C-alpha cells in the first residue's frame, strides 16, 4: 500500500502520535518508524491469519526504505494463533522467551521496537509484553479491526486474561505511535465491522450529539457497504470512504481527548465504560459465541434503560437508542 498525501494526525498526551488515513501500511509506516521511532531492531508481531496477507508487503517496503536511508535496521517477525485464547500468560511467556533467545543475534534489547499488527487481542497482549520486557520497551499499534482502531489501540491499556477473568493482569503503557490504516477495513468481515461500530456509537452517545445524529443519518449507506463481500477488496468501501474516515476520526479524537485528560482512569475516562458494566457480564458468560461490541450494544441499551428508571436520563434521549 503506497501513500502520497499527508495523513490526518490526532494529538494524544501532547504528541501527534495517532495517524489516520487510507494506504498507510507499507512505505509510509516504515519511513515514519525509521525517522521518528528509530531502532536497530523492529519486531513485527501478528497472528497467523494476518501474517501471509500483510507481512510480505511490509517486509518489501522495509527493505526498500531501509536501503534508501542507508539504515542497518533489521526486521524480525513472530506469529501467534488468532483468537482470545492467545491473550494468556502462556502466550506472553512464549513470546518473551523467543525475544530473549540466543537465536536473536544480536539479542533484542531496551532499544528494540515492537510492531503490534492486529485486533484487540494482539494490541492488548503485545502491549503488555512491551511494558514488561526489559522493564519496558517502545511499541507501536497497527490496529486492523474497527474495534481496535477506535478503542483498544488508544489509551495505553494493556493486559492478558486469566481463569479469573478478562484483562485482570496488565499495565498502562502508551504506544509510541498508532497507525490507523482504514484500508484494513476493506477485508474486515461484516460481523466484525458491526462489532466495532458499537464502540463508535458509544463514543458519540457519551460525548457528541451531532456525531450521534450523523451516525443515524449515514447508517443505511454504511451498512449497505459493509454488508458487501470483503473479497471486493479496495472497492468494498469506495462509496463511503469519506464517511468511514469521518466516523473513525470522530471516535479517535474523543478517546484521545479523554485519555489526555485522565490517562489512568481516575474519573473522566470512566465515561468510556458506558455499556461495559452490563456488557462485560454478558461477555463473561457467552464468549466466544458473542463478540465484545455485541455485548456492549446490549449493555448500552440496558444501562440507558436503568438510568431512565433511576431518573438520571431523559425518556426522549433513551428512546434514541
Three-class SS state of 111 = coil
What per-residue string of b and e applies to 256-269 under the rule 16 or more CB within 10 Å gives b?
bebbbebeeeeeeb
> What are the residue numbers of the active site?
135, 157, 199, 255, 265, 269, 273, 276, 280, 292
Asked if 70 and 102 touch (Cβ cutoff 8 Å), the reply is: no
Only one residue has cell 531502532, namely: 39
Rounded to a whole number, what is the distance in angstroms from the first to the last CA of the chain? Answer: 38
Collapse the DSSP code of 303 into the 3-class scheme (helix H, G, I; strand E, B; otherwise coil) and give the result. helix
Q: Which of 46, 41, 74 is nearest to 144 (CA)?
A: 46
> How far is Cα 243 from Cα 215, in angstroms, rounded to an integer?
9
Amino acid at each position: 500500500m503506497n501513500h502520497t498525501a499527508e495523513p490526518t494526525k490526532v494529538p494524544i498526551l501532547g504528541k501527534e502520535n495517532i495517524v489516520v488515513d487510507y494506504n498507510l501500511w507499507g512505505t509510509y509506516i516504515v519511513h515514519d518508524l525509521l525517522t521518528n521511532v528509530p531502532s536497530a531492531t523492529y519486531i513485527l508481531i501478528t497472528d497467523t491469519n494476518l501474517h501471509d496477507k500483510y507481512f510480505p508487503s511490509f517486509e518489501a517496503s522495509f527493505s526498500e526504505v531501509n536501503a534508501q536511508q542507508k539504515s542497518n535496521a533489521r526486521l524480525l517477525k513472530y506469529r501467534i494463533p488468532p483468537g482470545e485464547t492467545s491473550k494468556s500468560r502462556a502466550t506472553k511467556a512464549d513470546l518473551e522467551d523467543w525475544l530473549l533467545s540466543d537465536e536473536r543475534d544480536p539479542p533484542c534489547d531496551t532499544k528494540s521496537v515492537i510492531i503490534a499488527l492486529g485486533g484487540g487481542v494482539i494490541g492488548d497482549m503485545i502491549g503488555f509484553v512491551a511494558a514488561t520486557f526489559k522493564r519496558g520497551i517502545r511499541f507501536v499499534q497497527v490496529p486492523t479491526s474497527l474495534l481496535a482502531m477506535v478503542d483498544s489501540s488508544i489509551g495505553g491499556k494493556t493486559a492478558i486474561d486469566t481463569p479469573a477473568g478478562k484483562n485482570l493482569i496488565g499495565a498502562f503503557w502508551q504506544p509510541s505511535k498508532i497507525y490507523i490504516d482504514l484500508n484494513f477495513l476493506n477485508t474486515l468481515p461484516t460481523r466484525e465491522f458491526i462489532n466495532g461500530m458499537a464502540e463508535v456509537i458509544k463514543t458519540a452517545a457519551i460525548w457528541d450529539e451531532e456525531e450521534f445524529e450523523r451516525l443515524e443519518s449515514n447508517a443505511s449507506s454504511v451498512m449497505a457497504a459493509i454488508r458487501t463481500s470483503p473479497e471486493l477488496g479496495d472497492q468494498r468501501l469506495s462509496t463511503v470512504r469519506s464517511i468511514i474516515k469521518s466516523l473513525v476520526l470522530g471516535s479517535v479524537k474523543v478517546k484521545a481527548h479523554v485519555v489526555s485528560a485522565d490517562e489512568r482512569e481516575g474519573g473522566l475516562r470512566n465515561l468510556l465504560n458506558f455499556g461495559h458494566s452490563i456488557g462485560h457480564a454478558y461477555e463473561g458468560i457467552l464468549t466466544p459465541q458473542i463478540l465484545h461490541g455485541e455485548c456492549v450494544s446490549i449493555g448500552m441499551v440496558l444501562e440507558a434503560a436503568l438510568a431512565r428508571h433511576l431518573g438520571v436520563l431523559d425518556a426522549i434521549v433513551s428512546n434514541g437508542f
